């Protein structure tokens, strides 16, 4: 009978025995106890994942962060101090920091990509101003070309816009080389005056 009572009392103790304490497990893990780490993992993995998932949102990244937290617990368990709070609070604080760091890192990467995209797609003001200025100059040159004689205009266009030599212009227009040189010189002087270029 006494044996039976002892056995029932032992079973009752086993049933009422408190679940493992995260703080006590952390202290054992700090000493390199792998069995204690298994117990700690079983105790905190689910709450850590839940917290991380609420912050990070992405399931795959939440799993990664949870694994990082568990590795950090193994490496830094010696930093836990029971005087500062419960083991579970320390673990959850660590998980919260890791999750926030992941979100910030992802946001920074997104911001960098956005900046790079905007830099590539927005045209700088100077480039636009230069295009407008160039277009105005082209229009002014066209207007000044109309003020030249027919031979001057043809000579200037062939020599400066088509890149022909004086000899090639002379051959093409069937005009003596000396005349082409004179027409070009006179045409360029008139163009300079028309464009307002200082001498």
How does residue 5 score in pLDDT terms, banded at 50, 70 and 90? very low
Range of weakest confidence among 1-10, 30-39, 158-167, 184-193: 1-10
Task: Please tell me whether the overall predicted TM-score, pTM, comes out greater than 0.75 for this model.
Answer: no
pLDDT digits (tens, 9 = 90+) for 173-189: 888 888 888 888 888 88
Spatial distance between the Cα atoms of 37 and 22, rounded to a whole number of angstroms: 10
Model pLDDT, residue 155: 83
Q: Which long-range contacts (CB under 8 A, 24 or more apart) does 134-138 make?
A: none
Mean pLDDT of the chain: 83
Q: Mind listing the pLDDT tens digit for each residue in 90-141?
A: 999 999 999 999 999 888 888 888 887 777 766 555 666 677 677 777 788 7
H helix runs in the chain, sequence order? 2-16, 22-30, 34-56, 59-76, 87-121, 125-145, 150-156, 166-173, 177-195
């Amino acid at each position: 009978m006494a044996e039976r009572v002892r056995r029932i009392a032992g079973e009752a103790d086993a049933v009422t025995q408190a679940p493992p304490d995260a703080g006590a497990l952390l202290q054992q893990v700090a000493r390199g106890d792998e069995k204690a780490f298994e117990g700690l993992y079983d105790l905190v993995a689910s709450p850590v994942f839940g917290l991380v998932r609420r912050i990070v949102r992405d399931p795959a990244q939440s799993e990664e962060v949870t694994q990082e937290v568990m590795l950090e617990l193994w490496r830094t368990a010696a930093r836990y101090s029971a005087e500062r709070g419960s083991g579970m609070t320390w673990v959850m604080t660590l998980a919260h920091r890791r999750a926030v760091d992941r979100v910030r890192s992802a946001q920074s990467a997104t911001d960098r990509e956005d900046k790079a995209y905007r830099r590539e797609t927005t045209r700088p003001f100077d480039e636009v101003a230069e295009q407008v200025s160039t277009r105005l100059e082209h229009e002014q040159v066209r207007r000044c070309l109309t003020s030249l004689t027919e031979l001057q205009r043809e000579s200037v266009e062939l020599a400066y816009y088509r890149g022909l030599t004086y000899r090639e212009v002379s051959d093409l227009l069937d005009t003596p080389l000396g005349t082409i040189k004179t027409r070009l010189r006179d045409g360029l002087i008139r163009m300079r005056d028309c464009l307002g270029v200082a001498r």
